[in-house]
């Protein structure tokens, strides 16, 4: 459901994931949504620590709590934290399903090789496999009004849809979210979704309508073609603005 009632932010302590947490917290504040903050522990590290008689979970949970307190305005949200060891994509989707999350928020655009290895490739795998809508926050994203706890000034919402998704899905999601954010909507013809289109949509929306745009793409989990899913993942991870990939048949698992 968009606007979301429950939001899951995946955090790995990188700069990109902190930006994602800030966006998730502001969206939760604006929508009155519950916020879940998840850190997935590396299962190999967790097992090695366990063999050494060390329980990493309390330390990691304490660090996650510090991050939530440091990333404005996450601490002001109605939040719950989770630290779980396992394969990242499986754990993220499992937690999303368990708590009926309407939206998963992740970061992109990490600068270092280590961060790309730890988080960027995981974000891409999540986008390809997700049966829950995903909002990708670029590491360079900044809110229009940093002093505010919400997304005041955000927009316009620029919507495009995959050809075999319902024709009004992206437009409907954009309209529903725009009403909450108090912004405008621009609908882009969905005949072709490419990396170049995503960049043109972002820059055109920002230059013509002002503000800080969000691009909304729509696809089906069951019917979406693999090539288009891969193209959407590539767009979302390289765009300079937040991109929301809406899963049109998300309700199938609820």
Is the CA virtual torsion 86, 89, 94, 100 positive or negative?
positive
Please give the pLDDT value at position 55. Answer: 72
Please give the pLDDT value at position 113. Answer: 45
Please give the pLDDT value at position 66. Answer: 95
Please give the pLDDT value at position 254. Answer: 36
At the second CATH level, the architecture of 6-138 is 3-Layer(aba) Sandwich (3.40)
Closest CA to 16 of 129, 147, 121, 162: 121
Please give the pLDDT value at position 158. Answer: 85
At the second CATH level, the architecture of 154-241 is 3-Layer(aba) Sandwich (3.40)
Q: Mean pLDDT in runs of 10 for the chain (254 residues)?
A: 94 92 96 96 73 76 94 92 93 97 86 46 80 92 91 88 58 92 82 48 50 80 52 65 80 38
Please give the pLDDT value at position 172. Answer: 87
Please give the pLDDT value at position 224. Answer: 47
């Amino acid at each position: 459901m968009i606007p979301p009632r429950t939001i899951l932010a995946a955090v790995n302590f990188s700069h990109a994931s902190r930006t994602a947490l800030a966006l998730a917290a502001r969206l939760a504040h604006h929508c009155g949504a519950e916020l879940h903050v998840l850190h997935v522990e590396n299962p190999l590290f967790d097992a090695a620590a366990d063999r050494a008689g060390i329980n990493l979970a309390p330390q990691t949970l304490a660090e996650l709590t510090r991050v939530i307190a440091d990333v404005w305005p996450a601490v002001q949200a109605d939040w719950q934290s989770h630290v779980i060891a396992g394969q990242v994509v499986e754990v993220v989707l499992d937690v999303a399903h368990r708590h009926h999350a309407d939206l998963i928020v992740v970061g992109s655009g990490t600068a270092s090789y280590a961060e790309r290895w730890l988080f960027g490739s995981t974000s891409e795998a999540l986008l390809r496999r997700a049966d829950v809508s995903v909002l990708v926050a670029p590491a360079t994203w900044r809110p229009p009004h940093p002093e505010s706890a919400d997304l005041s000034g955000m927009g316009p919402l620029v919507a495009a849809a995959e050809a075999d998704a319902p024709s009004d899905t992206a437009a409907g999601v954009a309209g529903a979210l725009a009403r909450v954010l108090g912004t405008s909507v621009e609908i882009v013809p969905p005949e072709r979704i490419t990396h170049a289109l995503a960049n043109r949509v972002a820059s055109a929306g920002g230059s013509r309508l002002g503000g800080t745009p969000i691009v909304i793409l729509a696809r089906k989990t069951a019917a979406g073609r693999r090539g288009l899913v891969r193209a959407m993942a590539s767009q979302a991870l390289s765009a300079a603005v937040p991109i929301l990939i809406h899963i049109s048949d998300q309700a199938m698992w609820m």
